[in-house]
Amino acid sequence: MRKLSLLLSLGVVLIIGAMLTGCQKNPDTIKIGLAAVQSGSDAQIGLTMLQGSQIAVDEWNAKGGVLGKQIETISLDDEGNAQKANTVAHTLVDDGVVAVLGHLNSNCTIPASTVYNDGKVLQITPGSTNPKYTERGLPYAFRICGRDDQQGPIAGTYMHDVLKLNKIAILHNKTAYGEGLATEVKKTFEKLGGTVTMFQGIGVDENDFRANLSVIKGSGAEGFFWGGMYGQGGPLCVQMRQAGLNIPFVSGDGCFDQTFIDTVGGNAANVYLSFGKDYHKIPAAQPFLEKYKAKYGHEEGAYSVYGYDAANVLLTAIAQAQTTDADKVAAVMKSRPFDTILGKVEFDEKGDVKQSGFVIWTIKDGKLQVVSDSP
Amino acid sequence: MSYGSTLTEIVIDGISRGAVYALVALGYTMVYGVLGMINFAHGEVFMIGMFACVYAIGLFSTIWGSHALLNLGLGIIVAMIFSAAYGYANERIAYRRLRKAHVLAPLTSAIGISTFLQYFIFLTVSKEKVNFPRYYSDLLTTNRLHFGPVEITYLQVAIFGLTLLIMGGLFFLINFTRLGIALRATAQDQLMASLVGIPVNKIIAFTFILGSALAAVAGVMVAMYNNVLVFDAGYRVGLKAFTAAILGGIGNVPGAVLGAMILGLTEALTTLQFGSQWNDVTTFGVLMLVLLLRPRGLLGERVADKV
Amino acid sequence: MARWRPYLLGTLGLAAITFPFLWLKLAPDFNNNTVTIAWAPWHGLEFFGDLSPVFVITFLIWLGVQANRHFGWDKVLTQNRAWQQAGHTWTHYWAWGTMPLVLSGSLFLGASSLSLLTNVGIYMLLALGLNITVGMTGLLVLGYAGFYGFGAYFFALAQQNLPYFPWWMACPLAFALGGGAGYLLGLPCLRLRGDYLAIVTLGFAEAFRELMRNLSVDETDTTPHGPFVRELIQIFNTSGDKGIILNDSSTFGKVAGLNSGQVAYIVMALVLFLAVFLVQRLFHSPVGRAWIAIRENEVAAASVGVPVVQMKLLAFSLSAAIAAVAGVIYGAKDGFISPSICEFQQSIMILAMVILGGLGNSYGALLGAALLYLVPEYLKFLPLMIQDNALLRTIVPSFMRDSFQHLADYRLLLFGAVMVLMMLYRPQGLLGSRRRKTEMLHP
C-alpha cells in the first residue's frame, strides 16, 4: 500500500506542476524570440549573434521599450539540429512571441520558418544564407544578410580568376547551407571553365577526414572548398595540412569565427573565407563593439553586428507600424529603407536585402582580414 | 596521382583505423570473456583518456614548457592512469553489485553510466570540440616515411607498432603467466576459481583496468589523428569496436584484432568507393550479417555458457 | 569508523579522478601551439550549484520517505476501510473517470500546455511500447527510436509521393508496417542472447538513421551511386539532414471548430487510451503470462509449453507497431521529420522512462514518461513562481534560482545517474513490488 501513497504524492506533484504552467507570464511585455544554435560544435556563431540582438533590445528597453511596453526576450537553443529547431519554433509560437530573430543555420531556419508563418510570427534571420528560405513565398520571412547565390559566385570567381586554380575538390556537410553553398561554388567554377574533381557530402558529426583527403589527393585537385561550419572546417583544414595538402582552403561564412582561427593556427597560410563587408572600418560600428565587449567580456562574433541590426530593424518597424500585427509590420519592413550599422537596408518582395556584398577574407597575424574587395 | 597509390593510402588508413579499433575491442572482449556482459561504458573511458592526455600535456607545458616527446609520453601515461581509474570506478559502482542479476540490470546500468560520463565531460570540459595541441600532433603527422609514392606518417607507424606490441604483450600475459591462468580460470568458472584461491574480485578489477588503459592509448592516438576531441567520440568508436569484437568472436583476443582490422579496412574502402557517409551503414550492415549468419564470430567465441 | 572507510576512500577517489575536469580549465597557448592549464574553481562550483536543486529535491524526497516510514502517514489512508473500498472501485473504473477529464482539458488549457501534454503523450506511448519488450518479456531493445523513425519516415515519404495521405490513413498503415518491420527484424535476431539483441537493435537504429540521412537526391553529387541507389533515391528522397516538411493536408488540421493543437491533443489522448487498453488486455491474458514466463526463465517456459519464439516475436512486433504509430502522430503534430528523431539519445530517454517507472508495469511506463519529461519543464517555471512570491524569494538563494534555467542542460546527465541508481537500489522502478526486485537481482 506504500505504492498507493507514492502514486498519490506523485499525482499531487504533477497536478501542481500543471497549475504552474497555467500561470501566465507578465502580459505587459512584448515578447521577442531569440533562437539559434547555442551549444554544440557551432555554438559560438549562434551565441554571439543573439548576444548582439540582446544589446539592441537592451538599448530599446532603456529608452522605454517599444509601443510603450518593455521588450522581453525568450532565448532558446536549437542545437543546430533541424528537428530541435522545429520544436523551438512551435514553443515560441505557442508562447505568443510577436517576432523571432533567428535562426542561424539555414538547415534550422527553413523548417522553422514554416511554423512561424503558420503562426503569423515575423521572422528575421541575421545569418541564414540559403536562398530557399525566401524563395518559398512566405510573407513573414526576412533576412538581413546576403544569400548563397551571391556568396558562392564570389568564392568560385576568386578561386578561378585570382588563385588561378583549374581543378578543385568540394566537400559539404549535407545541410541546406553547406550543400547549397557548395553547389553554387560548383556552378560558378564550372561556368568559368574549371573542373570540379570531387563533390561529396559528409555527415555533420564526422571527425576523421583522412580517407576523404586521400581521395582528394588522388584526384589531383589544386584547391579545396568546404561548404559547412567551422566545427568541421577547422579540423578538416588541420588534417589537410598534416596530410601534406597545402592547397588553398576556401570556405564561406560558416567558418568565420575566432574558434576557426584557434584551430588552424594564427599563421595558417592559404586559407580564404567569404563573408560580408568589414564592419570594423565603419565608424558607426564602434559604439556597438565597445558595448558588446563591455557586456560580454569578449570580442564580438561574426554575426553579432547582423544580430544587432536585425533587432533594430524589427523594433523600428514595429514602432512605425504602431502594432505588433505581423502583416502590418511586414508591410512596413518592405516599404522603406532602414539605417543600420552595415549601411542602408532595404527589403525586396521576397524578404531579402536589396544590396549586399561579399568579400574574401584571409588569416593574417591571428586575425581575419579582408584580402580583396571583388563584389 | 594514380588510383593505385590512392588505394595504397586508403589501405594504410584502413589499417590504422583497424589498429585503433583493435585496442578498444580488446577491452570489450576481455570483459565479456570474464564477466559475460557488454561493458557499454568502455567507449567512455576511451574518451576520458583523450581528455586526460590533453589536460596532462597542458599541466606539463605550464610547469616546464613544451618538450615534445617527454610531455607526450607522460601525457599518455597519465591518460592510461585516468582511464584505468575510471574503468575501476565503473566496475565498482555500476557492475559489482549486479553481477548475479538478471542480464537486463548490468546492461542498463552500463548504459546509464555511459550516458552519465559522456554528459559529465560535455558539461565540465567543453560543449564544443577541443583541439589537441598541434605542437605534438604536427610532430608525428607531418613527418613521414616514404616508400616510393606512398607516404606513411610517424603516427600511423606508431599506432600500428604500439598495437602489435600490445597484442604480443597481451598474448604473452594470457598464455604464459600465472596472472593469465588466473584470468582464464575466472573466465571459465568464477565459483571454482574462487574456491581454488584466485581473488576473483581483484582479477575482474584488473581486467577492467587493463582494458581501460589500452583504450586510453587508442584514445590519444585518435585524438592526434583527428586533432579534435568531442564528448561523444567514445560512443561512436565504442560501437564500432564492439562490432569488431563480435565480428572476430567475442571473448577471443586474436579474434578482436582480426575483426577490427577487417572493419577498419571496410570503412576505408567504403569511403573510397561510396563516400564516407555510408561508413556507418556498412559497419552495421556487417554487424547484422555476422550476427545472423555466424553469431559466434569468425574465430569462434570463447565464453562460459550461461544456461 | 571502519564501516565508513570504503565510502570515504571511494569519495576521495572520485574526487581525485574528476579533479581536472571540474576544477581546471584548458587554455590554448598560441605561441607554442599547445595548451596550458588554468585554475577554474568557479567552474566546479558552478557545476555543483547547477545541480543543487537536484540535491535539494532528492534530500526532501528522502526526508519525506523516512518521515513516512517513521510516522506512518500513509497508513491513515491505506488502512482506512472506506478509502480501500474507494481505491478498489477506482482501479476498476478509473478510465471512465479520467478519460472525459483528459479530453475536456483540450478546451480550457492554453496552447503551450496543450503542446507540452501532447509531447508527453507521445513519450508515454513510446514508453508503453518499449515496456512490452524490455519490461514484460525481458528483451533489451536499445534501438527503439529506430522504429519510431520508421513510422515517422513512412508517413513523411508516403505523403511526399502520394497526392492525399492524411494522418488518419497513415496510423493504421504504420501500425501494420511497423509490426511487419519488427517481425522481420525479430525473426533472425530473437535467437541471439540478450546483450546481442540489444546491440543488433542499436545497430538497426543507427543504420536506419544513416540510411535516411544518405537518401537525399543531389544531381551534382559525384559519389558513384549505382543505378539501383539512384532509383531508390527517386522514390525515397528524404532530403537527408534537411528533413521533410509535411504538407498541410497530412498534418492535424482544424476540425469542427477546434484548432490543430486541440485536435492533436485529443487524437493523442484517444490513441493513448486505446494503446493502454490493448496492452493491458494482452498483459492480463495468457499472452502476458507467457511474456512474464519468458522473462523469468526462458528454458523453463519452453519446457512447460510456452511457444517462446512466437511470443517473443509478438512482443517485438507489437512494440515496433506502437512506436511506428507514435512516429506518425509526431509527424502529424510537428510537421517536420529529420533523421535526428532516431538518435540514440531518444532511445536512452525512453529506456530511462521505462526503468524509472517500473519494468513490466504499463502504468509505471506512463508515469516514468510523465516524470522524466514534465519535471524539467516545470522546473523552468519555478524561478518565475519564486520571483513572484516574497517568502520563497528569501528562502531560495539566487544561485539556485539561476540554476533552474540551466537544469535542462543537465537532463541527460541526470538520466544516466537515474538509470544507474535505479538499477542498483530499486530495479523494480517506482511502481514495482519488492518481489520484483528480488526477481531482478537474484534470478
pLDDT tens, C345-390?
A: 889 889 989 988 888 889 889 999 998 888 877 777 666 666 666 6
The yes/no answer on whether domain A29-146+282-356 falls in CATH 3.40.50.2300 is: yes
Q: Does residue C73 register a pLDDT over 80?
A: no
Q: Does residue B305 register a pLDDT over 50?
A: no
Shortest alpha-carbon distance between residue A82 and chain C (Å)? 7
Q: State whether A40 and B128 contact (CB < 8 Å).
A: yes
Q: Does residue A154 register a pLDDT over 80?
A: yes
The pLDDT assigned to C226 comes to: 65
**CATH number given to A149-278+359-372:** 3.40.50.2300
Give residue C217's pLDDT band: very low, low, confident or very high (50, 70, 90).
low
Instruction: Give the rounded percent of residues in chain A with a pLDDT score beyond 90.
Output: 17
Is A200's Cβ below 8 Å from some Cβ in C?
A: yes
Mutation to test the C interface, candidates A174, A190, A212, most C Cβ within 10 Å: A174
The pLDDT assigned to A9 comes to: 64
Are A205 and A174 in contact, with CB atoms under 8 Å apart?
no
Is B236's Cβ below 8 Å from some Cβ in A?
A: yes
> What is the rounded average pLDDT for all residues in chain B?
86
Q: State whether B228 and A207 contact (CB < 8 Å).
A: yes
- When pLDDT is averaged across residues C195-212 and rounded to a whole number, the result is 86
Shortest alpha-carbon distance between residue B99 and chain A (Å)? 28
The pLDDT assigned to C325 comes to: 96
Is B143's Cβ below 8 Å from some Cβ in A?
A: no
The pLDDT assigned to B47 comes to: 94
Indicate left, alpha or beta for A174 from its phi (over 0: left) and psi (-120 to 50: alpha). left
Whole-angstrom distance, CA of residue A96 vs CA of residue A26: 12
Handedness of CA A39, A43, A48, A54 (dihedral sign): negative
The pLDDT assigned to B307 comes to: 33
Number of H helices, E strands in chain B: 12, 4
Distance of CA C272 to the CA centre of its chain: 15
Q: Among the residues of C335-410, which ranges form H helices?
A: 344-357, 362-388, 390-395, 398-406
- Tens of pLDDT along A81-125? 888 899 899 989 988 889 999 889 888 999 999 899 988 899 999
Closest CB to C220: pick one of A6, A114, A186: A186
Contact partners for chain B, using 3 or more CB pairs closer than 8 A, are A, C
Q: Does residue C177 register a pLDDT over 90?
A: yes
- When pLDDT is averaged across residues C183-207 and rounded to a whole number, the result is 83
Mutation to test the A interface, candidates C220, C260, C367, most A Cβ within 10 Å: C220
- Domain segments of chain A as ranges: 29-146+282-356, 149-278+359-372
Shortest alpha-carbon distance between residue A192 and chain B (Å)? 25
Q: State whether C195 and B135 contact (CB < 8 Å).
A: no
Shortest alpha-carbon distance between residue B61 and chain C (Å)? 6
The pLDDT assigned to C230 comes to: 67
Whole-angstrom distance, CA of residue B271 vs CA of residue B262: 14
- When pLDDT is averaged across residues A112-140 and rounded to a whole number, the result is 89
> Which of these ranges, A72-76, B191-195, C229-233, has the smallest mean pLDDT?
C229-233
> What is the rounded average pLDDT for all residues in chain A?
85
Helix (H, G, I), strand (E, B) or coil at C150: helix
Q: Does residue B2 register a pLDDT over 70?
A: no
Whole-angstrom distance, CA of residue C368 vs CA of residue C352: 8
The pLDDT assigned to A24 comes to: 53
Of residues A20 and A202, which shows the higher confidence score?
A: A202
Closest CB to A87: pick one of C216, C223, C334: C334
The pLDDT assigned to A12 comes to: 67
Q: Burial of C442 by CB count in 10 Å (0-12 exposed, 13-18 middle, 19+ buried)?
A: exposed
Whole-angstrom distance, CA of residue B107 vs CA of residue C194: 10
Q: Does residue C257 register a pLDDT over 80?
A: no
Q: Does residue C199 register a pLDDT over 60?
A: yes
Q: Burial of A69 by CB count in 10 Å (0-12 exposed, 13-18 middle, 19+ buried)?
A: middle
Q: Does residue C324 register a pLDDT over 90?
A: yes
The pLDDT assigned to A297 comes to: 84
Are B200 and B87 in contact, with CB atoms under 8 Å apart?
no
Q: State whether C335 and A86 contact (CB < 8 Å).
A: yes
β-partners of residue A275 are A359
- Tens of pLDDT along B60-101? 888 887 777 788 889 999 999 999 999 999 999 989 989 888
In the stretch 255-294 of chain A, residues with CB closer than 8 A to chain C read 262, 265-266
- Tens of pLDDT along A272-328? 998 888 888 888 888 888 888 888 888 888 889 899 999 999 999 998 888 888 888
Give residue B304's pLDDT band: very low, low, confident or very high (50, 70, 90).
very low
> Which of these ranges, A148-162, A347-361, C386-400, has the smallest mean pLDDT?
C386-400
Give residue A23's pLDDT band: very low, low, confident or very high (50, 70, 90).
low
- When pLDDT is averaged across residues A329-351 and rounded to a whole number, the result is 86
* Cβ-Cβ contacts under 8 Å, A86 against chain C: 243, 334-336, 338
The pLDDT assigned to A1 comes to: 45
Give residue A26's pLDDT band: very low, low, confident or very high (50, 70, 90).
low
Whole-angstrom distance, CA of residue B74 vs CA of residue B66: 12
- Structural domains of chain B, with CATH: 3-293 (1.10.3470)
Hey, which of A200-209, C8-17, C92-101, C397-406 has the most confident mean pLDDT? C8-17
Of residues C86 and B221, which shows the higher confidence score?
A: B221
Mutation to test the C interface, candidates A7, A83, A86, A97, most C Cβ within 10 Å: A83
Is C418's Cβ below 8 Å from some Cβ in B?
A: yes
Grid coordinates belonging to B250:
567475442
Q: Does residue B306 register a pLDDT over 50?
A: no
Q: List the single residue in C with minimal CA-CA distance to B272.
A: C223
β-partners of residue A70 are A29
Q: State whether B13 and A206 contact (CB < 8 Å).
A: no
Is C334's Cβ below 8 Å from some Cβ in B?
A: no
Mutation to test the B interface, candidates A174, A210, A238, A240, most B Cβ within 10 Å: A210
ipTM over 0.90: no
> Which of these ranges, A137-151, C47-61, C402-416, has the smallest mean pLDDT?
C402-416
Contact partners for chain A, using 3 or more CB pairs closer than 8 A, are B, C
- Tens of pLDDT along C19-39? 888 888 888 777 777 788 888
Shortest alpha-carbon distance between residue B238 and chain C (Å)? 12
Are C165 and C340 in contact, with CB atoms under 8 Å apart?
no
Q: Among the residues of C25-143, which ranges form H helices?
A: 41-71, 73-78, 81-108, 111-130
Shortest alpha-carbon distance between residue C406 and chain B (Å)? 11
> What is the rounded average pLDDT for all residues in chain C?
84
Grid coordinates belonging to C255:
476540425
The pLDDT assigned to C223 comes to: 54
Is C9's Cβ below 8 Å from some Cβ in B?
A: no
Per the listing, cell 557488454 goes with B38
Of residues A23 and B226, which shows the higher confidence score?
A: B226
- Tens of pLDDT along C104-132? 877 777 777 888 889 999 999 999 999 99
Q: Does residue A374 register a pLDDT over 60?
A: no
The pLDDT assigned to C224 comes to: 56
* Cβ-Cβ contacts under 8 Å, B307 against chain C: 299
Distance of CA A148 to the CA centre of its chain: 12
Whole-angstrom distance, CA of residue A287 vs CA of residue A293: 10
Q: List the single residue in A with minimal CA-CA distance to B137.
A: A242
Q: State whether A218 and B128 contact (CB < 8 Å).
A: no
Asked if A29-146+282-356 and A149-278+359-372 have one fold, the answer is yes
Shortest alpha-carbon distance between residue A286 and chain B (Å)? 29
Q: Give the pairing of strands B130-131 and A367-372.
A: unpaired
* Cβ-Cβ contacts under 8 Å, C381 against chain A: 20-21, 23
Q: Does residue A11 register a pLDDT over 70?
A: no
Q: List the single residue in A with minimal CA-CA distance to C248.
A: A118
Shortest alpha-carbon distance between residue C355 and chain B (Å)? 9
